[in-house]
Structure 1
Amino acid sequence: MFQKKKLDLSEQNISTLISEGCTIEGQVKAPAVARIDGTVQGNVTIEQGLILGEKGLITGDIHTKDFVIYGTVIGNVKAQSIEIKSTGNVTGDLQTQQLQVDPGAVYNGALSMESSRKKQELLQSAS
């Protein structure tokens, strides 16, 4: 259930940055990799990946490909891979294929996991 796949979002070019001290109320959408160190009150959709810094706070649902959490999330998360670092705090349901939770991280919610292989098998059997 828990895999040690290291996400390499830190090596990606960050196209969107919401810095510490910034507050956004409303939806946030971005096409590539984003980093949030400020506060977002609303749903967040990032196509490639999202890094939530230690002082970052998102209150709303999140949909992205890869998600690394150092900060606080209050809402549901849907991502292919999720990594909750030791400073991370998540309250909400997670839907993912890969999950890594570091010692010290806090997670409260329901977890739904499905492997990509199983998903492909279900699609093929439906054809």
Structure 2
Amino acid sequence: MFNSKKGIDDKVSNKLTTLSSQSLIKGDCSIDGDMRIDGTIEGNIQCTGKVVIGPEGRINGNISCTHACLHGTIIGDAYVKEELTLKANCVMQGNIYTTKLEIESQAKFNGSCSTNDMNHEVKLLGTIAE
């Protein structure tokens, strides 16, 4: 892809998968890298990186990732290995399992929450083949 003689690695260092608004995925998703969701996913998400759910984004299923920032809606459980942020006006209907949680004013959260310190790592759902 790039000329390796110039010291440029052929691998993409920051993989980003984007689901645009008005898009719909029915089924489970496995993502190697980061993901931004502005559409709708009806199924579970496994992601090795960060998941950002935009204001119009919606997930009907469970999410498993390293970091997550929620502006939109999740109807399901969230397994976030490191940090989950619930932004103002988001909707989270399900249980949260994470190490660090931040909830902004006007965020809506209905469910239970389990937080652990870094010594008791959150177990993510399944694994993604490398």
Larger Rg: 2
Q: Note the aligned Cα RMSD (angstroms).
A: 1.5
1:14 offset after TM fit, Å?
Answer: 5.6
Identity percentage of aligned residues:
27
- Give the aligned partner of residue 92 of structure 1: 94
- Runs of 4+ in structure 1 deviating by more than 3 angstroms, as ranges, are none
Whole-angstrom CA distance in 1 between matches of 2:90 and 2:48: 21
Any conservation in 2 of the 1:14–1:35 contact (CA below 8 Å)? Answer: no
Whole-angstrom CA distance in 2 between matches of 1:81 and 1:57: 19
Distance 1:41 1:105, change over 3 A: same
Paired amino acid for 1:110: S
Return the structure number with greater helix share: 1
**1:89-108 deviation digits (Å, cap 9, x = unpaired):** 10000000000000000000
1:87 offset after TM fit, Å?
Answer: 2.0
Whole-angstrom CA distance in 2 between matches of 1:13 and 1:108: 33
Whole-angstrom CA distance in 1 between matches of 2:14 and 2:117: 27
User: Could you tell me the TM-score, scaled by structure 2's length?
Assistant: 0.79
Q: What SS class does the counterpart of residue 47 from structure 2 fall into? A: strand
- Give the aligned partner of residue 45 of structure 1: 46
User: Could you tell me the TM-score, scaled by structure 1's length?
Assistant: 0.81
Whole-angstrom CA distance in 1 between matches of 2:96 and 2:52: 16
Flag structure 2 segments of 5+ consecutive residues without an equivalent. Answer: 1-12, 122-130
Flag structure 1 segments of 5+ consecutive residues without an equivalent. Answer: 1-11, 121-127
